[in-house]
Amino acid sequence: MKVGTQTRAIVTGASRGIGRALAVDLAARGATVGLLARGKDELDELAASLPGKHVVLPCDIGDNASVRAAVKSFIEQTGGLDLVIANAGIAHYGPFMQVPIEDAEAMVRINVLGTFYTVRAGLDHMLDRAEGHVVVVSSGAGLRSFPWAAVYGATKAADRMFAEALRHELSGTGVNLTTVYPGEIKTNLHTHEQDRLPDWYRPKDAIPAEEMSAAIIAGVEANKRSVYLPPLVKLLGIVHGISPRLADRMLRILRGGTAAPRQD
């Protein structure tokens, strides 16, 4: 699909990071954007800074009724929905046994169930019209999961598997789907845990959110099955798929021993 003045798009996690960059990009192209996140003040401030008229939809993505109400309100206010970007997500890194179970539950609720709720609410409308595009933001961690990110990686692998199957289910419906695999992107995803990030994590190599957003929109316009940024994420997925042991070796070179401490 071409993204332009006719496009009505919903972005979850629009207040910060990748979602915010997407909202800015979409608005710059003349799209009408539904801005979803919990923080209303940040969304109001963002909407006021964007060209055009947009819809602020404060909601908790981990609550199905809240998501459904937000999507319904967007469609009522704009007359339709062409693009759904299920982007909102959270991370809590640390050794599995030290991650509070409530944090693990929150990751599953927001990263996995939140994606299901968003896509389902959007598809209800798009399938009726037999057109539209869905974007699911997974992660490089959904291709090869990392130590100290076991639960986060599991949620992102769930997003990946969900999107892979759904893309085929949508065959012939007129609705398309793109899965996104970001590597490290410069956002506030880990701001709350700066002092306890694993050694393999390399924030200095992180890519600006604007580049990720541009790649996602180009992927939607080209109806790509997947978007990887940086491209090395794709290579890691391929190598891990062929030989996890080889991927471990590759990661030890690129990220040091903490990325793959076991040699057996």
Select 56 or 175, whichever has its Cβ closest to ligand NAP: 56
Structure tokens at 129: 């019209």
Phi first, then psi, for residue 35 (nearest 5°) are -100, 110
Q: Per DSSP, what are the bridge partners of residue 37?
A: 58
Select 34 or 62, whichever has its Cβ closest to ligand NAP: 62
Structure tokens at 54: 């947009």
CB of 43 to ligand NAP, least distance (A): 8
Select 78 or 139, whichever has its Cβ closest to ligand NAP: 139
CB of 82 to ligand NAP, least distance (A): 21
Residues near ligand NAP, by CB under 6 A:
12-19, 37-39, 42, 60-62, 87-90, 110, 137, 139, 182, 184-185, 187-189
CB of 196 to ligand NAP, least distance (A): 16
Select 6 or 188, whichever has its Cβ closest to ligand NAP: 188
Q: Annotated catalytic sites, by residue? A: 152
Select 191 or 263, whichever has its Cβ closest to ligand NAP: 191
How far apart are alpha carbons 117 and 121 in whole angstroms? 6
The single-letter DSSP state of residue 109 is: I
CB of 230 to ligand NAP, least distance (A): 11
Closest CA to 67 of 123, 106, 107: 123
Closest CA to 119 of 163, 153, 154, 77: 163
Q: Distance of alpha carbon 213 from its chain centroid, rounded? A: 11
How wide is the angle at C-alpha 177 spanned by C-alphas 58 and 106, nearest 5°?
40
The single-letter DSSP state of residue 173 is: T
Q: Are 144 and 247 in contact (CB under 8 A)?
A: yes
Reading phi first (left if > 0) and then psi (alpha if -120 to 50, else beta), residue 143 is in alpha
How far apart are alpha carbons 158 and 148 in whole angstroms? 17
Q: Are 138 and 185 in contact (CB under 8 A)?
A: no
Select 127 or 150, whichever has its Cβ closest to ligand NAP: 150
What is the arrangement of strands in the sheet containing 83-86, beginning at the earlier edge strand? 55-58, 32-37, 8-12, 83-86, 132-137, 175-182, 226-229
